[in-house]
Amino acid sequence: MKKIISILMVAAIILTGFSAFGTLVGATTYVSYGEWLLAVKSDTTYLVGGYNGADTEITMPETANGKAVIGVAEDFSEHCDSQITSVNMPDSYTTIEPFAFYNCSTLETVDFPSSLTGLGSYAFLNCTALNSVDLSEATGLLNISSSCFSQCAQISSVSLPDSITSLNDYCFSFCNSLEQIIIPANVKSIGANAFYECTSLSDVVIPNGLETIGENAFYNDTALTSLYVPVSVSSIGANAFYPMALEGNTMTIDCYAGTYVASYAYQNYLNYTGDTLVKGDADNNGETNIRDVTYIQLYRVDLYEIGTDAKTIDRVDVTGDHQVTIRDATQIQLYRVGLADLL
């Protein structure tokens, strides 16, 4: 029904030539502003609701009719007369609503605003020409919503801000050209089917502190041959790494013995390392002693190298903050004299 209403609305706009009077469709009022169709968000703000121009590379307005334009409205792509290839949004934009660029098959590049805090579900679903996603400056964005970039088969690179705490269901599914993803440090959950059928994905960096990996999250990611899954992960859904368990598959889950991850790998017939975890072992010699205290202290003043990868941090961090700090050295000292435990 929503699609039918949208089609009728576009026809009405074309027939009236984007009249200066507001057009009410459903619960949304639209007004014209030159080549733009604007959705009334409030008494003082608009969202960009459509584009009636001929340009394929567009820069969206920051203000219109004396009001602020703060983002992109739902179904924007259905109200466009041109085959858009490039979109530049002002840094003041805070929201991109669900389905905003849905099925915009010619869209290749998007300049995402640094003030973005809301990115709706299905916003870029089936944007088959989109080649990259750089959200690194959008430090107020908390999650990548469901199916947001699903079926964007040409996306080869993704950069996400550290503010992200969750990657929701199907968010990057069927991104067949994506080769690497660095999951931000604050992410606690990877949703079901998040990277489903990302067949070129060969390098995944999972942060310490991740808690949940949903079902089918890395389903049929056939280029992925090794993946370290941190100690913090306590829930992994069914078939999260399918068909990595099938005979002849070389996929290996890198993990520590005695963890939930090791148990999951064993129960699901996955290849896994199961290395021994010695907490506080900064020099990786299989023991925790006063030398490790010294090495951590030297590391903090850049006189000794301790790896920053998740596996090393899981080993050296004894305070549970998922980083190596002077507090870890202090905790080890207390442990050595029987005044504290190592997490």
Q: Which residues of the chain have a pLDDT value below 50?
A: 1-21, 25
Residue type, 33: Y
Cα–Cα distance, 214 to 212 (Å, whole number) = 6
CATH 3.80.10.10 in the chain, residue ranges: 131-272
| 322 closest CA partner among 332, 314, 331 | 314
How distant, in Å, are the alpha carbons of 10, 100, 150, 179, 256 from that of 285? 68, 54, 44, 34, 16
| 135 closest CA partner among 171, 99, 164, 169 | 164
**pLDDT, tens digit (0-9, with 9 covering 90-100), for 215-261:** 999 999 999 999 999 999 999 999 999 877 666 677 899 999 999 99
> Hey, which CATH number is domain 131-272, 3.20.20.70, 3.80.10.10, 3.40.140.10, 3.40.50.800?
3.80.10.10
The pLDDT value recorded for residue 142 is 98
3-state helix, strand, coil in the chain (%, to 5): 15, 20, 60
The tokens of 147 are what? Answer: 């199916």
Cα–Cα distance, 297 to 327 (Å, whole number) = 10
**pLDDT, tens digit (0-9, with 9 covering 90-100), for 309-335:** 999 999 999 999 999 999 999 999 999
DSSP 3-state assignment of 147? coil
- 325 Cβ partners below 8 Å, 6+ apart? 300, 319
b/e per residue 184-215 (b: at least 16 CB within 10 A)? bebbebbbbbbbbbbeebeebebbbbbebbbb
67-72 and 45-51 beta bridge pairing: parallel
The pLDDT value recorded for residue 243 is 78
What phi and psi, each to the nearest 5 degrees, are found at residue 212? -135, 135
